[in-house]
């Protein structure tokens, strides 16, 4: 195994190459029609183990393969092969720090027309270094966006498709142009969905509340992790139910979850300060526990951490 020069590295057309060499044609179906399914996967460096632990790799790959069936995608690589590719990218990079993997299954034909049936699919994946994606210490100032979350009957958010992220881009851009850190989506019925690219939790009168998977959200792996840890380790009263917009203004705590966001506290919504205006006690406990888990420090969940080396 050759260690490549430090920098972004990719698996493309069956080979490991520098990311800048992984190129597609301007005619590629996925480039023209957004017909790609992807995952975002983090690897955490543990100084104690001198290893990079890829967090919930199997679950991420399984979700991508399940979602790809909606897009009529078939590729020669199976789940085990994709996991091996992800780990091999880390090994070839030689990175001993936080990393981010993005496997993508995409429609690779050079053809016109948006249909997906009968169009060839391929797998690629790239690896980059990644530290903090957003502020996870002082709290984010967020705004409810005027853009609505896509309906599952239009472009399913659960698919994590490349084309659907224009919805997230518009919302996040609107929020940032108005001076906020992040956006919150409402659904067409006015209830809360999630952040622009992350799930949402609130703490309200002692309960940890999040929107259900039927509310046009990504069925987040970090979300599922937080739900399990909250019940099993923190023994919280956890509720999955619709959340009204004004509940965001009157809740005691709020935070986002996601592979990129991890556990990111929210300080204010639409310029209304949440709680004491700083990360609350449950958020901080959840955050601390989460970071212990992803670095392999909690024996009960060590099986979620796949060593790269």
- The dihedral region occupied by 194, where left means phi > 0, alpha psi between -120 and 50, and beta the remainder, is beta
Which residues are CB-neighbours of 258 under 8 A, at least 6 positions away?
40, 195, 197, 198, 199, 220, 222, 223, 264
The residue assigned the tokens 């936080």 is 98
How many other β-carbons are positioned within 10 Å of the β-carbon of residue 61?
Answer: 22
Q: Which of 88, 98, 85, 94 is nearest to 7 (CA)?
A: 94
176 is catalytic: no
Active-site position among 23, 96, 122, 160: 160
Active site residues: 160
């Amino acid at each position: 195994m050759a260690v490549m020069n430090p920098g972004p590295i990719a698996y493309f057309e069956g080979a490991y190459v520098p990311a800048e060499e992984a190129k597609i044609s301007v005619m590629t179906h996925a480039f023209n029609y957004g017909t790609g399914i992807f995952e975002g996967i983090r690897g955490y460096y543990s100084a104690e183990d001198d290893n990079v632990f890829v967090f919930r790799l199997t679950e991420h790959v399984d979700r991508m393969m399940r979602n790809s069936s909606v897009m009529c995608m078939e590729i020669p690589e199976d789940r085990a092969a994709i996991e091996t590719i992800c780990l091999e990218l880390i090994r070839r990079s030689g990175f001993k720090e936080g990393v981010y993997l993005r496997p993508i299954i995409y429609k690779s034909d050079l053809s016109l027309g948006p249909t997906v049936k009968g169009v060839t699919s391929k797998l690629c994946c790239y690896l980059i270094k990644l530290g903090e994606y957003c502020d996870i210490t002082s709290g984010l100032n967020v705004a409810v966006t005027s853009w609505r979350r896509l309906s599952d009957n239009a472009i399913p958010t659960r698919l994590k498709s490349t084309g659907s992220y224009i919805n997230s881009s518009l919302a996040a851009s609107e929020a940032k142009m108005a001076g906020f850190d992040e956006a919150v989506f409402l659904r067409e019925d006015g209830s809360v969905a999630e952040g622009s690219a992350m799930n949402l939790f609130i703490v309200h009168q002692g309960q940890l509340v999040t929107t259900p998977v039927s509310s046009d959200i990504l069925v987040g792996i970090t979300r599922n992790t937080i739900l399990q840890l909250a019940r099993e380790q923190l023994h919280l009263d956890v509720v999955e139910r619709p959340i009204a917009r004004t509940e965001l203004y009157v809740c005691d705590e709020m935070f986002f979850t996601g592979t990129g966001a991890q556990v990111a506290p929210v300080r204010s919504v639409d310029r209304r300060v949440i709680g004491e205006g700083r990360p609350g006690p449950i958020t901080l406990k959840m955050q601390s526990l989460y970071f212990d888990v992803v670095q392999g420090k909690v024996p009960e969940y060590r099986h979620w951490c796949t060593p790269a080396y």
